[in-house]
């Protein structure tokens, strides 16, 4: 299933982002946030199934057609929350819903926990809190991050002779996807270069995090949420196999849906997109 969308570029005070707009202008305001190394095409199957909403599906900074952070900056997870807030300001949305997948779901949780008065609802797909680290691991993690930064200028992006080769590589990447899903992401994620094609993503996105929140930090954001939360978990995804995560989630006041499919179940096929929409449509209407 496909639907017409409008392509826009958003000139924020600190960066220029690209986005797809779906749905009627008078629809409920929704900002959609894709996962790590994906782009706004992540919502190209799901958006047509969502009713009564005005969706701004962002290419997050460093992804798709959006700008990259300036030299010397990095991609700390909390910096994305500032981007989202600036997008809402540009649209004049004082309150809005966040639709997030994976990293986008994490960004959504952090923003809604930090500024609960701004977020109407959270519709999350196979993501909730960031990867965590305990205090004793912090020095080692910072050292690894610093060494990776020093080594980055010597690394080169892979170049694929054909689009089909890039699609095949994406199918086997982090959060493996179907061929159709990989083709959709490649439509927006690839660019031509001498010798073939490479991904538009900023290489700094591959750098390890310099610092991570502790478990206590991460769950504190969840506990500060004031809005309704609907969390879709993929049975073959990344989270249901983590017993401690599931124990923590099940002890909190949110609606959980466990659906068949992998980490990108909303993009892999039409059946998965419809199943996710069936969970979210009543939720977005407040039913």
Residues carrying an active site annotation: 102
Return d(Cα 158, Cα 170) in angstroms, integer.
Answer: 12
Rg, the chain, Cα only: 18
Is there a contact between 52 and 284 (Cβ–Cβ < 8 Å)? yes
Residue 269: exposed, middle, or buried by beta-carbon count in 10 A (0-12, 13-18, 19+)? middle
- DSSP assignments along 54-123, one per residue: EEEEEE-TTSTTSPPPPTT----HHHHHHHHHHHHHHHT-SSEEEEEETHHHHHHHHHHHH-GGGEEEEE
* Helix 215-223 with 103-114: angle, nearest 10 deg: 70
Q: How far apart are CA 64 and CA 78, in angstroms?
A: 19
Beta bridge partners of 6: 21
């Amino acid at each position: 299933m496909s639907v017409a969308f409008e392509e826009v570029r958003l000139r924020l005070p600190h960066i220029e982002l690209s986005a797809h707009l779906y749905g009627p202008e008078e629809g409920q305001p929704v900002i959609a946030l894709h996962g790590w190394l994906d782009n706004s095409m992540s919502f190209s199957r799901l958006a047509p199934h969502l009713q009564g909403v005005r969706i701004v599906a962002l290419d997050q900074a460093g992804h798709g057609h959006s700008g990259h952070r300036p030299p010397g900056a990095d991609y700390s997870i909390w910096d994305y929350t500032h981007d989202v807030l600036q997008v809402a300001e540009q649209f004049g949305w004082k309150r809005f819903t966040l639709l997030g997948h994976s990293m986008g779901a994490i960004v959504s949780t952090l923003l809604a926990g930090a500024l609960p008065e701004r977020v109407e609802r959270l519709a999350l797909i196979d993501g909730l809190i960031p990867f965590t680290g305990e205090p004793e691991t912090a020095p080692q993690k910072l050292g690894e991050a610093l060494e990776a930064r020093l080594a980055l200028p010597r690394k080169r992006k892979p170049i694929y002779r054909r689009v089909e080769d890039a699609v095949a590589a994406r199918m086997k990447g982090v959060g493996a996807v179907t061929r159709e899903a990989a083709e959709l992401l490649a439509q927006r994620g690839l660019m031509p270069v001498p010798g073939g094609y490479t991904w538009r993503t900023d290489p700094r996105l591959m750098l390890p995090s310099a610092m991570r929140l502790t478990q206590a930090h991460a769950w504190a954001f969840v506990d500060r949420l004031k809005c309704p939360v609907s969390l879709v978990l993929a049975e073959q995804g990344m989270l249901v196999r983590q017993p401690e995560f599931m124990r923590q989630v099940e002890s909190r006041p949110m609606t959980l849906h466990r659906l068949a499919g992998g980490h990108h179940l909303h993009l892999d096929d039409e059946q998965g997109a419809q199943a996710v929409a069936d969970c979210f449509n009543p939720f977005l209407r407040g039913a």
